[in-house]
Structures are given as structure tokens and as C-alpha cells.
Structure 1
């Protein structure tokens, strides 16, 4: 677990701002009729405009190499969805747009689930609860708290609402590499796990299914799907742990604080 120096924190802020700017602009392009490949290619162009590179494209997991600039997961797809020309968004869909970039050697990582046109009240509630659980987890990401405090805050809010947290994928530390210690599950016991320290950079990212936490992998070897075919939502921020409250660093250029889309804006800013 690496606590960042003053200079490293500045680099992380730059990376976070770039990642959030790309995500903000890319989400604005989501509309019925667009293909996920078109969105992914647009994400690659936005990264070039901002002066950063994708930390997803070329990512290796064993013998597999991730082919896309972004992760685009539609409806029952939970994470790591691949942009495809034949996958066109329809009104009523939801899509999780996950943007992870490298900026001057440092990683910025964030995700947001976006509705395509009008969605059902149940699906909108799924997105709201997932985003709220993210900010409740961030509330717990302070100096001397433990990872389990973050995990439990997320899990309690999700399960109290009748939804299911994904246990196969977790949040993580971040810095010069995409995945650093500690792992930050979206489930666990308060007071357990590694202690958080001022200066740590971490990604908190609740992934929430409508009913079941069970996951299966698509034939592409990357896309994780809800076994029951029900919708899944995913929200993520990169943040710096501090004494009183975490500093969210995935804030778009021109914005003073993190955007809230479904959660009440009275939570962590």
C-alpha cells in the first residue's frame, strides 16, 4: 500500500481530472441508435484530445489482451464490456461507461451508469442506490478507518434496498499501475481489513445486480454478465484518503466538485 507524496498527489489529480473529463463528454454521447463500438472509438478520440492514453487498451490478463479504449457494459453486462458494431443502444437500456486513463505515468479511473432515454422506475432506483452506495463508501474512506468500513457501508445500503452486490470484482488502490493494494470489496465487516492511511489513492466502485450476485463470463473472455439476465449498475470514483474526508479527484475540467446523477447531492462532494 503506497501513500503518495505531495508531487504524486498532484499527478494523481491531473490523471483523475482527465479521466473524469473524458467520462463526462463520452456519457453525453450516449443515445439510442449509437453502437458501443462508436462510443469506444469516440472515447479514444477524446483521450487523444485531452492528451492521455487508455489504461484499458492493451491490458493483459494472462494470455488475453483487452482490445478497447473503454469498458462499455450494457444492461445485464456488469463490467469489462467490449465495444461492438452490432451492439446498438435502444431506448430503455442502461450502459456503464468505464474510463481508465494513463496521464504522465499515473492512472485515473472512473465509471458511471447512464440511462438511454427513459428507463423504468425499478432500473432508475437501481442506479440511484448504486450511486448512493458509492458516496456512502467514500464517506468511510478516511485516515485510520479500515477497508471493511468502506465495504460494509456499500453492502448495507445495497442489500437494505433489496439489491445484490457483486463479489467477484472489487475496488482497489491505484497509482502508477491500475491495480495496487489494497483490494476494496463491496462487502465485508466493519473494522476489518487493512487500515487506510492519509495519502493513499483508491478506487471505490460498487457493482450492483438487480437480484442475484451470481456472475458468468461471456464468450469474449472479458465481459462479466449477471447470470439471471437482470440489469446491473456500476459507479466509480478515484479518491485520495485524508484525515477528515476523502478527496474525490475524478472531477471533470471546469467542475468544482463531483457530479451527482441519482444520489442526493448532500453526500460527499
Structure 2
């Protein structure tokens, strides 16, 4: 069942999303060579709890951390660890916050120091594809319109869209109906209605679309071990135009004067 949110519920999700956006920014300050991914997780959890929220991911189906931290060829669901970031890595940081009973969910992929032009282009275009998908997330459109916008854009650059992992509804539960694939056909799928709240999250590979799950039961990586990028916003379906509930504003205040800045254009 797809649960349509009231304006009051959407405001509660936005309140959660504000804490989430600022938590991401605190983590962004630490994304640099030599920092362990476990340190990033600690920074996020402390900020979220200090602001009366709880990390949505910690304990979700047994997940052990507050952040999903996915480096280089890891697509999503990587564990924080003692791994020290290295110059030239890319790192996807996916985080959720529960506040006053409602979840928000967003992800951002950073270059660590200087990365190749090829990889930086992957990040920029994956981020751009997120906004192209969001442009289709308004009342009367269909789920397939979102996926088609993302897929059509990234595939023209020779990238591939992960099929096994998709976006989702968000609200009182972290994962709700409907699923939101990053591929599809225009005019197909569930019709979007005002009050739906969706996490739209392109996961785009530099190489082939195929992925594999590691033995830990969580970590998903590309089979060809080429890099993968991931960006995500939580949005509310409205008439005429989606409302983006999460924010990258605070992240980009931190990264604006460094190579971490990834342009949406």
C-alpha cells in the first residue's frame, strides 16, 4: 500500500531532513585522505543524536552503522571500517535520520582529493541525473517517467544503471512502497499522486551494470570493479513540480572552495 502524506507529515519529514543535511555537512568536513570511514560514521551519529534524532540505518535489518559508506567500486551498503581514505578515491555517504517519528534519506558521492577527469565526470553526471529524475516526480506522472529520465541521460555517456537496487517511498518507515527504479519507460508504472514521498537515488556505474553482494550480506560492488556513483534526495510529489525535502546546501557550503564541489549542471 502506498501511503499519501499530509502537509503536516511532509513538514515533519522536512524537519528530519534538515538535521540530515547538516549531519552530512559535518561528515563532509572529514572527507580527506588519511581519515577512516569509521570516523565518518562516528561524526554522523554524534551529530544526529545531539540534535534529538536517531540514525535510521543503525539496526535496520541488522545493519551495524549509522552510515552506508561505499568506496570506489562499492555501489551501496558498505560498512564503515578502519579503511583510511586515499587520494583519488570516491566515497558515497548514504544517511537517514528519524525525528519525531518520520524518516528522511539522502546520499552524496565525494571525490577524495584529486580524481581523474573520467571519474569526476561520472560524479557530476550521476548528480545531474538525480535532478532530471526529480523533474518528472510530480502529480500525474508515472514511476517509469522518473527512471527513463535518469536512464536516458546516463546511458548516452556509456554509463550503466544498476538494476537490483532502487529508490523507495519514505515516511514513518525508512522503506515504503512504491519502489522507484532508476530505469524504465515513459508512461509506464504506478501513477504519481500528490502526497507521495519518494527517495530517488540513481546508482550509476562507470562500467557494466552487473553487481555482486559480498559475503557480509550487505556490501554491493560492481562485478568489473569499476567505480560507481550514488546521489539521493527525498522528495514530495506535488502538482506541477516535486518538492525536494532533503538538501545538499550544507554539504556544498563545506565543499564549495575545494575539489569536493560537484556541479549539478
TM-score interval, smaller chain: over 0.9
Question: Which position in structure 2 is the counterpart of 1:249?
Answer: 245
Q: Which residue of 2 aligns with 1:75?
A: 72
Counterpart residue number, 2:150: 154
Specify the alignment match of 1:139 in structure 2.
135
Contact 1:77–1:231, Cα closer than 8 Å, also in 2: yes
Q: Structure 2 CA distance, aligned partners of 1:55 and 1:6?
A: 22
Q: Which position in structure 2 is the counterpart of 1:267?
A: none
Cα deviation for residue 32 of structure 1 reads 0.2
Matched, 1:221 2:217: yes
TM-fit CA distance, 1:24? 2.0
Given that residues 74 and 227 in structure 2 are in contact (C-alpha distance below 8 angstroms), is that contact kept between their aligned partners in structure 1?
yes
In structure 2, the gaps of 5 or more residues are: none
TM-fit CA distance, 1:35:
0.7
Deviations 1:108-167 (A, max 9, x none): 100000010010000001001100100000000010000000000000011011100100
Moved over 2 A (4+): 251-255, 259-262
TM normalised by structure 2 equals 0.93
Residues 50-61 of structure 1 aligned to structure 2 (within 5 Å):
50-60=51-61
Matched positions, count: 256
**Residues 32, 88 of structure 1: 8 Å contact kept:** yes
In structure 1, the gaps of 5 or more residues are: 265-269
Are 1:173 and 1:183, in contact at CA under 8 Å, matched by a contact in 2? Answer: yes
TM-score normalized by the length of structure 1 = 0.92
Offset, 1:251: 2.2
Cα separation, 2, equivalents of 1:158 and 1:245: 22
1:163 aligns with 2:159: yes
Counterparts of 1:199 and 1:155 in 2: how far apart (Å)? 25
Partner of 1:205: 201
SS in 1 for 2:123: helix
Query: Cα–Cα, structure 1 residues 254 and 116, in superposed 2: closer, same or farther, change >3 Å?
Result: closer
Secondary structure at the aligned position of 2:124 is classed as helix
Q: CA deviation at 1:253?
A: 8.0
Tell me, yes or no, if the aligned pair for 1:54 and 1:101 is still in contact at 8 Å. yes
d(CA) in 1 for partners of 2:19 and 2:196?
Answer: 19
SS at match of 1:135: helix
Structure 1 vs Structure 2 CA RMSD: 1.5
